[in-house]
Amino acid sequence: MRKIKVAPSIFASDFINLKRELDRLKQLGVDYIHYDIMDNNFVPNISFGPLITEQIAKYSGIPGDVHLMISLSIEKVSRFMLENIEIVTIHYEADGFSKDIIDFIKSNNKKVGISIKPQTPVEAVVPFIDIVDLVLVMTVEPGFSGQSLIPSTISKVSKVREILDKYNRDIYLEVDGGVNLDNVQTLVNSGANLLVIGSAFFKNNNSEMIMDLVKHLNKIK
């Protein structure tokens, strides 16, 4: 069984004090930094792009987990093939989604993820299950941090876990949106092993408690 890992979403951090936030992430020993890339097309919001991602990844030295909430093309995706970026995840529902993009990401020696929104059935990932390194189950509608987890998404996590077991795929099952101290245990019990945490990490001052809880869960696993 894979270790449970934590990927704080930098989108929820204090950008005025970004350096301090990054130093703290290093100190806490987080596994990844999660980068929420939004294009005001696939989602109704704009975040930041490759330039800022590159600088944060370089300064922090922490492996990067890029979550592309954008309409897709090889050209756009190629801008995120950056140093210290380990995972690039694309949305099944995005315009331009194709196996070619998955292959392109892999050919750049990155791990590739496929993400589904709360309304998308889990079966959507099955045709890609043998070629991806990660399945991301969105637990909120993508676009904004600070939302509450949608309860019906928890059974989707269990269903994806069943699919991964059935196909013998020991890959990441990532959850993203409204993850906090109160639901981490449930999500992990449902099969999640990569936790994206935004507001609960940066805004509610729970970072240490979250890291301790995950350490504990890894011990009793």
- Does position 50 bind ligand DX5 by CB under 6 A? no
Which of 36, 103, 133, 170 does the annotation list as catalytic? 36
Contact 36, 47 (CB under 8 A): yes
Q: Please report how close the Cβ of residue 145 comes to ligand DX5 at its closest, in angstroms.
A: 3
Cα pseudo-dihedral 180, 186, 189, 193, rounded to 10: -20
The residue within the footprint of Zn ion, chosen from 33, 134, 176, 201 (CB under 5 A), is 176
Question: Which of 133, 152, 149 has its CA nearest to residue 141?
Answer: 149
Q: CB-wise, 14 or 130, nearer to ligand DX5?
A: 14
- Which of Zn ion, ligand DX5, none does residue 140 bind (CB under 5 to 8 Å by kind)? ligand DX5
Residue 2 neighbours by CB distance under 10 Å: 12
Is position 212 annotated as part of the catalytic site? no
Select which of 23, 103, 165, 176 is catalytic. Answer: 176
- The answer to whether 36 contacts Zn ion (rule: CB under 5 A) is yes
Active site residue 65: no
State yes or no: residue 207 binds ligand DX5 (CB under 6 A). Answer: no
Binding part of the chain for ligand DX5, among 86-94, 140-148, 152-160, 209-217 by CB under 6 A, reads 140-148
Q: In what order do the strands lie in the sheet with 64-69?
A: 5-8, 194-197, 172-176, 134-138, 111-116, 85-91, 64-69, 33-38
Cα distance between residue 24 and residue 55, in whole Å:
16
Q: What single DSSP character describes residue 44? A: S
Shortest distance in whole angstroms from residue 59 CB to ligand DX5? 20
* Footprint of Zn ion (CB under 5 A): 36, 67, 176
Give catalytic residues, as residue numbers.
36, 176
